[in-house]
Structure formats: C-alpha cells, structure tokens
Amino acid sequence: MNAEDPLAEDQGNDQESAPRESTAGTPDRYVVAESDAGQRLDVFLSARYPQVSRARIRRGIDNHLATVDGQMKKASYRLALEQTVQFTLPPPPADRPQPEPIALELLYEDDAMVVVNKPPGMVVHPAKGHWSGTLASALVHHFDQLSSAGGVTRPGIVHRLDRDTSGAIVIAKTDSSHENLSRQFQARSVQKQYVAVVRGSLGPDRDLVDQPIGNHQSHRQKKAIRSGHASSRSAQTFVEVVSRFPGYTLVHAFPKTGRTHQIRLHLCHLRCPVLCDKLYSGESRLTVGQLRSRCRQPDLASDLPAEHTLLERQALHAERIALAHPTTGKPMEFVAPLPADIQGLLDILRTIRG
C-alpha cells in the first residue's frame, strides 16, 4: 500500500471525459516555468489535464507513469524551475465493481470503518483478469456506504493484501475516515503483524531486513531487491521466529513499510521463502507425502493419504493490525484467526516439534 500524501479532494470522480483523451497511453512532455516552480507534481499535472480527476492523475504517478528529469517521483515532489516532466495519462478505470453476494467475515464494523478477515484467493479490487469475485464487489453488496477516496474501482479500499495472502484488511466507509487512515499508513503508525510458514531454518531468532524493493529486471509480476534503480524504494521488515520444525520455521513478520510483496521478498532474501509462494519459492502446492519426505517422518499424519494437499497458496496471513480509530482517535487492535489451511499444517508440524 502506498498511502503517501493522499489528496483531500476530487478523488471519487474518475469517469470524466478529458479533452486530451487522445493522448492516453502516450507520453506528454512539459518544462516547468517560473510560475510553476515549487508546485507539487500532482498539482502541476492536474492543471495540465483540467477535466481529468485528481484520482486518475495520482494513479498515473503511483504507477510510475510520471518522471521528472527522467526520475520517478512521488506525487508530493516539489518541482524546480526548468525541470522536465513527462507523463503518460493512464486509461480510465473500468466501471464500478458490480455487487456480488459473497460472504465476508467481519472482525469489526461501525459507521466509520470495517475490518474484514479476507480469505485466501480473493483479489482485493478489480484488475486485469479479475473482474469478479473481488473483495470490492463483496463490499458493494454488503454496505450502503463506502468511501470514494480511492477511486470508483476501489470503494472503501485503504490498503491491500495480495490475492493469496489472508487476514485483516481495513475498509473505510467515509472519505474523511479514508483520509485519516491513509495518513496513519503514510506516517507508519499502523502496526501490522503477519504469520508466515517458511521453508528452511531461519538463522537468528530476530532479524531486521532493510533492503530496497523495485521492479524486477525481466518478470512483470515480480518485484526484486534492487538498489539504485528508479523504481526502488526503501523497505524494512522485522522478523521473529515463533517455532522451529524440521525443514520449516514459523515466523512473525512486522513490516515497517508497505511495499508490494515486501514480506515475501525479504524472507526470500533470508533464504527462507514463504512456503508455497509460487512467484518466489518455485512451488505452489504442498502434499502430505512431500511433508513426510522433507521432515523425514514417514508416519507423519498417518490418517491422511500421501497425495492429500495441505496447502496450495503462500503460507502468509495478516494476523493483527493496530491503529487509531479514524474519528475518535481511540487505539484499536484487530486479530484475524488463522485460516484452516495454515492452522491444519501447523497442527501437523507441532506433532513433531522437538
């Protein structure tokens, strides 16, 4: 989730017809004049596309479609005289998600916010190849009011979880709540705790991974630990061992930043990739037979056949999130119970611990 300097206005109207629509998909180039020096990048670009919503401008910046003198910058970057800005107007988003009667497990709800225990396999908002079955469609069905600050395709969505990561996700019902929660994420005052089962034996019981994350050199779906690249951003994750098993480790991960795939990449950097993480571990399924072989326990889970699948998604769960209530300021903490697949795997591993 990148929630830096959220715009306070004009973020919900993303179905505009812009006079420069013919330039969508092709870059436009501007030189900063004296009258524009000192302006924020998003404000500067909004002035050049007066009939395009600020949400759409911001989406383009967040998706690395804007450069200043060839370097990617944040929306809040202050421009200097005679700098060159290049921007590719992103296409308009798809229509608002269609309501779908998908069951949701609510951890909390009031007039300002909702906390959902997202199941594995659910995409948070519509995207290429995933237009239905999303959390956004479920939210539109269940709630009459959701914030529009994230744009029409992301009603209520303040931050995200990967499709195959389960756990607690915070939803805003009003724009003011959305803006407050976004500021908390930006200030890194939101505390997040993840549970992960990783392959291998993690070295120290506690470790801080401080490695920048950027775009992968060749794989569009991947991110990579990468220094000195225009797409790279600082990223820090504190990792703590909870339990050790033969060939596996149960850990808690506490991300200090919120980069895409951050926990998965940082654990992979420690040579202990998240179990069944198809992108970064090379496997997407764990059977009872595989577990018996790796643990050297031929009688493990003897009541199950060897071909029985224990896990077929990354073993990563957003277990806990703590923040200040967006309207009252009261400290709040929400805990999402472990899903059945991870819990079942741990139940088996704990029979051989020690």
Query: Catalytic site residues?
Result: 162
Q: Which of 117, 120, 107, 115 is nearest to 341 (CA)?
A: 120
Identify whether the C-beta of residue 135 lies closer than 8 Å to the C-beta of residue 118.
yes
Indicate the pairing of strand 236-245 with strand 248-255.
antiparallel
3-state secondary structure the chain: CCCCCCCCCCCCCCCCCCCCHHHCCCEEEEECCHHHCCCEHHHHHHHHCCCCCHHHHHHHHHCCCEEECCEECCCCCECCCCCEEEEECCCCCCCCCCCCCCCCCEEEECCCEEEEEECCCCCCCCECCECCCCHHHHHHHHCCCCCCCCCCCCCCECCCCCCCCEEEEEEECCHHHHHHHHHHHHCCCCEEEEEEEEECCCCCCEEEEECCEEECCCCCCCEEECCCCCCCECCEEEEEEEEEECCEEEEEEEECCCCCCHHHHHHHHCCCCECCCHHHHCCCCEEHHHHHHHHCCCCCCCCCCCCCEEECCCCEEEEEEEEECCCCCCEEEEECCCCHHHHHHHHHHCCCCC
Rg (CA), the chain: 22
